[in-house]
A and B are shown apart, each in its own frame.
Chain A
Amino acid sequence: MTSTSHRTSRLGRKRSESLVAYGFISIPMALFLFLSVGIFIYAVYISTFDWGIMGPTKNIGLDNYRKAFSDPIFLKAIRNSVKYALLVVPIQSAIGLYLALLVNSKIKGSKFFRSAFYFPSIASSAAITTLFIFLMAPDGVFNGVLRFFGVDTANLFNQGAWLSDSRTALYSIIGLNAWTTSGTMMLFYLANLQTVDSQFAEAAVMDGATRRQVFWYITMPLLKPAHLFVVATGMIGALQLYDQAILAGGADGSPDYSLMTVVLYIYNACFRKFEFGYASAIGVILFVIIFSLTVLQKSLFGSAAWKGDN
């Protein structure tokens, strides 16, 4: 391919290929530049203003950011969102992987189990959360099951009020979302598992590797693209927790702001206090958090999958 005799035609081909490529990406890139990058810059601009319902009043520089970091409720929201993401992502990824391995093995009814496991992922969060609130109520089904196993729920430290006790509310939502999202994560792992060549594993077994060794040294590394995708999308999704928080804890993320998330805080700044500039500033901070975590996680997993195969 590097022979010099073809250089001119290769150059010509390169140029026409570039033109074609620009043709392909022109509209998508224009949309990205307009709907995401442009909007992002506009958000940064708005975030430097005292901006109410009727529009901007005055430029206040970085005051919105200063205000954010001196508001204890906002700091609590950040802590909640990060804590939630750091807990829910590994749990839902691990369950997703485990489920994928389960249904990927040649078993009877794997199709049924696959559908069943994905089931919670398909309904809307509004519907699921409503259901969940019912199940987790002090006299709901969950406590009924606990009582069946001999747990005296009325004398538990939270009296069985899982969602209305600040010590268990966030963990309950983590449980809910690990349950609903793991189905999606299972799908991504399944997709990757289909591409994994079973020869490697078989060869390893022939060499005397144990199942555990095969899993950790062969299967796990081969699933790297799925790990990357599952953790990246999971993290971004988790930091945007909103529907479940407002449905279970109301706009204040009650009790004791234990369900106050960054996004819920943005929502409140916008629609309860009409501080559009302030809301934009929080949005920018959220972006910075997501960006840093993604970069961190990228360096943890290595960057191979982010690059092309040239």
Chain B
Amino acid sequence: MSKVRKYSFYSLLIFYSILTIVPFLWSLSTSFKPSDEVYQSNLIPDQPTMKAYATVFGKIQPNFQTLFANSLFIACGVVVLHLIFAALAGYAFARLRFPGRDVLFFVVLGCMMIPDQLRLVPMYQLLVKMGLINTGPSNYLAIFLIKAISAADVFLMRQYFLTMPKEMEDAAKIDGAGPFQLFTRVMLPNAAPVLATVAILTFQGTWNDLFWPSIVLQSPSHWTLPFGILQFKGQFSTDWPPIMALVVLSTVPILALYTFGQRYIINVQLASSAKG
């Protein structure tokens, strides 16, 4: 690479990094600002204060701890469901032959195209009939039912299983492994990267989801973080520091998860149909 080329290359990278990072630094900075500094353009607060954090941990109802616990519980539950069902179905569609496979897979692909908003009315009616729209703990079940399975995850998992070499399976078959052992002992361990990808993307999607929680969760003690942010924004319109404190606190877990899991995500190989 020539020097000019190298410099322009790096300045492009750095410019785009600034575009992606600075807005977040602003929200971090705002969360430490006293109210009268919010509208000033300084990035480092003149008089930094923890007041906003004291507010979100103590004063708001429900407080940050409750919102966080709910978000974590719901996101983890949905991750477990997605992993189990996507692995099972993805494996069957990729590695097993059975009558009706293509038709059923087409149904799965079709499900990917059904917008969540189309499900809004009938799903809600159904949940009401099942008695899951209430202020008790069974209200969580409604969220788990809505989000039990994802066609996109099945698709991703299938594509990954398609790329696995047949030899691996054959070797285990010669050793006399049954289909289920084959799945749990050979396929799953080798699918760690795609499992991690599905887990991280599902966690992120559920953690950030605003649409369903705002419709389904009836009691404030069940609310999740994004819903809490919106509620809080409604109540405290322009009291930016606590809102930004919530934004920061709700982004940190996702950031940590991503930092930890990024090597898995990067290793996911999207299936290439060219091979096989």
Contact flag (A, B; Cβ within 8 A): yes
CB of A224, distance to nearest CB on chain B (Å): 8
Across-interface contacts of A107 in B (CB, < 8 A)? 9-10, 13
Q: Let me know if B4 is at the binding interface, CB within 8 A.
A: no
Q: Are B13 and A127 in contact (CB under 8 A)?
A: no
A232: min CB distance to chain B, Å:
8
Neighbouring B residues of A294 by C-beta, 8 Å:
113
Question: Which of A82-90, A117-125, A159-167 lies on the face that meets chain B?
Answer: A117-125
B2 within 8 A of A: no
Q: Are A20 and B204 in contact (CB under 8 A)?
A: no
Which chain A residues lie closer than 8 Å to B258 at the CB level? Answer: 115, 118, 122
Chain A residues within 8 Å of B170, by CB: none
Inter-subunit contact B121/A283 (CB<8 Å): yes
B109 proximal to A (CB < 8 A): yes
Instruction: Point out the residues of chain A lying under 8 angstroms from B269, CB to CB.
Output: 191-192, 194-195
How many residues of B are in contact with the other chain, CB < 8 A?
A: 93
Distance between Cα atoms of A239 and B116 in the complex (Å) = 11
7 residue pairs, one from A and one from B, having the closest CB atoms: A309-B276, A283-B118, A124-B208, A28-B89, A24-B92, A42-B122, A21-B96
Complex: how many Å from CA A305 to CA B156?
12
**Are B265 and A191 in touch, CB under 8 angstroms?**
yes
24 inter-chain pairs at a CB distance below 8 angstroms, sorted by A residue, are A21-B92, A28-B89, A29-B104, A35-B149, A36-B119, A39-B118, A42-B122, A107-B9, A107-B10, A109-B13, A113-B13, A122-B258, A123-B24, A125-B208, A125-B210, A126-B208, A126-B210, A127-B229, A192-B269, A195-B163, A224-B272, A263-B117, A290-B113, A294-B113
Q: Name A268-287 residues within 8 Å CB distance of B.
A: 270, 276, 279-280, 283-284, 286-287
Instruction: Report which residue of A28, A224, A240 has the largest number of chain B beta carbons within 10 angstroms of its beta carbon.
Output: A28
Least Cβ–Cβ distance between B227 and chain A, in angstroms = 9
Counting contact residues on chain A (CB < 8 A from B), the size range is: 35 or more
Query: In the assembled complex, how far is the CB of residue A184 from the closest CB belonging to chain B, in whole angstroms?
Result: 8
Chain A residues, CB < 8 A from B259: 115
Residue on A with the closest CB to B159? A225
